[in-house]
Amino acid sequence: MDGMSGPYVIRGSVSLPEAELMWRFSRSSGPGGQHVNTSDSKVELRFDLARTEALPPVWKERALERLEDRLVGGVITVRASEHRSQWRNRETAAVRLASLLAEATAPPPKPRRPTKIPRGINERRLRQKKQRAETKRGRSPRDWS
């Protein structure tokens, strides 16, 4: 398996542009024996959200607003170091970035319309309440003198 399993679809026909992805590799902590000291398996993937032309303007605006806490100078960074192989970490990071952007660019949910309770149901509830109150009032020991 050589090469990346390419384009990472965000949603619909929009995918992550390979040219705009900035990769950085470093030594990863964790398992790996002697191999861990020689290979750069930790992956850091950076994507310039503020300057990209790959996203429709509406999506871009939405993503910038929703991800503002995670952005550093308009750039979003995703790290992956779970796997021992750099290739698998690259896959993980790219998939993570794509799903993060998919979530951030999703349209806002439709506003909730409050349910209208039918009049009959409300009247029945009030009738039962009154009846229950009567039953309880009948139990109270008053004027037994």
Backbone angles phi, psi at 139, to 5 degrees: -80, -20
**d(C-alpha 104, C-alpha 142), whole Å:** 66
DSSP 36: G
Helix axes 86-105, 57-66, angle to 10 degrees: 100
**d(C-alpha 136, C-alpha 114), whole Å:** 34
* pLDDT tens sequence for the chain (145 residues): 344 456 777 777 777 777 778 888 887 776 666 666 667 778 888 888 888 777 888 888 888 888 888 888 888 888 888 887 888 888 888 888 888 888 888 888 899 999 999 999 999 999 999 999 999 988 887 765 5
Backbone angles phi, psi at 77, to 5 degrees: -120, 135
Question: pTM of the full predicted structure?
Answer: 0.64
In the chain, alpha helices (H): 57-66, 86-105, 119-139
